[in-house]
Copies of this chain bind each other. A is one copy, B any other.
């Protein structure tokens, strides 16, 4: 099971790299064996995602400390972000991250949140059953201080109900109860942001 999770998530990571969503060595990802176990597996720091290997995950506790010492390998600097998501949404077992150009642009042109209205694909977000609705995604300011940023995330808990949030000029996180659902959330969000950016390139005056 852990081997299969490592393998499937590594495959997703490499495929998202081909889409340009993890330039240079950016982004990080994690999975959990079960909501009952107080550890999770997070991607190593500084890995080129085009070659991400199933062995490039490190088991850590919720303080972002590795459960074993690995010579020369550190968990991602953003591991605490994963801890907070797992704590706030206990059924979550997979967390994905993207540095896509569209997500960075959205975070520059919108202030506190981005919203989408009336798109069929909104049904991809767990809990949504119609296009005929407005869905909201919060935008948080970037911070290198992970303790401060964790605090900010907890304050925004109520805004995280659509399973994704943006970080200004940085990217976004998406999660789900399993890899299938986490991917569905990430890909639907990327798609709606791409539509929005293309619209802005046609008709800037609307924004």
Contact = CB atoms under 8 A, between A and B. Distances in A.
B26 A101 contact: no
Interface string A129-159: 1111000000000101000000000000000
A101 B195 contact: yes
Contacts of A131: 142, 144, 169-170
A66 interface: no
A203 B202 CA distance: 8
Task: Please give the count of copies of this chain that the complex contains.
Answer: 4
A8 to B, nearest CB: 11
A169 B119 contact: yes
B167 A23 contact: no
A104 interface: yes
A121 interface: yes
B144 A195 contact: no
Contacts of A90: none
Given A131-B144, A132-B144, A198 B101 contact: yes
